[in-house]
Each structure stands twice: as structure tokens, then as C-alpha cells.
Structure 1
Amino acid sequence: MNTTVKTPAVQRFLTLFAGGIAIISLAALAVILVQYAMSVALSPQLLAVGLYGLPVAFILLMVVLALNFRERRRS
């Protein structure tokens, strides 16, 4: 039985948003490591993005997972 369920737009948006935040946060962490290795002063904004980006992305993905469970339970 091959049934396809169309993903709601909110779930797609949240998934892409969380993925974007995670990628930006990982890039910020990579830049922080390079700056640290070069003994350059670290910017506080970059540290904030690296520190808070991944937890925010994780929370958003947990919300997407909860929405997906709720949708599957209904059908």
C-alpha cells in the first residue's frame, strides 16, 4: 500500500527554518574556531549565534516531530 501524505506548509517551513538556523550556527562555530586558532578577538554576536543557534534548531525540530506525530495519529 503506497499512500503519499502531503506535508503541511507549516511543517515544511519549520523544517527548512530549523535547518537554516543549524547550518548558520555550525558555520559560526567554524568561524569561531578559525578565529581562535589565529588569535583574533572573537565577536560577541558570533559567539551568541554559535551558542544559541543549535539549541533553537533542535527545539524547532522537536516541534516539527510533535506536529508530525499528531498528524499521523489523526490519519
Structure 2
Amino acid sequence: MNTTADTPASQRILTFLAGGVAIISLAALAVILVQYAMQLAPAPALIAVSLYGLPLAFILLMVILVLNFRQRRRSR
């Protein structure tokens, strides 16, 4: 069973980073949707964060999966 003691620090950092990027991106998307509902023009920075944040978080999660698979193969 994989516990936090077995997980390398770099993998934990990547996990928190991916989660943080995803949460920030979803929050930016929610703000954009609220601004559109209020008929306001959203800031270009918000659009960029919501546009690139979720794919970046997905890529980070794929990297975490690959690292986890490699770690499990080595432990056999």
C-alpha cells in the first residue's frame, strides 16, 4: 500500500501543484461565467488562466501517473 512515507517529495509537490492549478482554473472559469451573466467583459488574464490551466493540470496529472507506474514497477 502506498502511503505518504513511500511517496517521494517531488511527486507530492506535483500532486499539490496540479490540484492547485485545477482549482484556480475552475475558479477563474466561474468568475468568467458570472461576468458574462452580468454582461461584463472578462479580463484577458482570466480567460488565459481558464483556457490554459485545466490542460496544464491534466498534463501534470499524467506525469504523476507515469511516475507512479514507474515507481510501482521498480518496487516489484
Superposition TM-score tier, normalisation by shorter sequence = over 0.9
Structure 2 CA distance for partners of 1:11 and 1:3, relative to 1, 3 Å: closer
Matching residue of 1:31: 31
Q: Which amino acid aligns with 2:24?
A: I
The structure 1 segments of at least 4 consecutive aligned residues displaced by more than 6 Å after TM superposition are none
Q: CA deviation at 1:13?
A: 0.2
Matching residue of 2:58: 58
Q: CA deviation at 1:7?
A: 0.3
Matching residue of 2:18: 18
CA distance, structure 1, for counterparts of residue 61 and residue 47 of structure 2: 22
Structure 2 CA distance for partners of 1:57 and 1:32, relative to 1, 3 Å: same
Matched, 1:74 2:74: yes
CA distance, structure 2, for counterparts of residue 24 and residue 3 of structure 1: 28
- How many percent identity over aligned positions? 73
Q: CA deviation at 1:42?
A: 1.1
SS in 2 for 1:66: helix
CA distance, structure 1, for counterparts of residue 8 and residue 49 of structure 2: 29
Q: Number of matched residues?
A: 74
Q: CA deviation at 1:3?
A: 7.4
Structure 2 CA distance for partners of 1:3 and 1:9, relative to 1, 3 Å: closer
Give CA deviations for 1:8-56 in whole Å, capped at 9, x if unaligned.
0010000000000000000000000000000011100000000000000
Return 5+ residue gaps in structure 1 as ranges.
Answer: none
CA distance, structure 1, for counterparts of residue 6 and residue 68 of structure 2: 11
SS in 1 for 2:57: helix
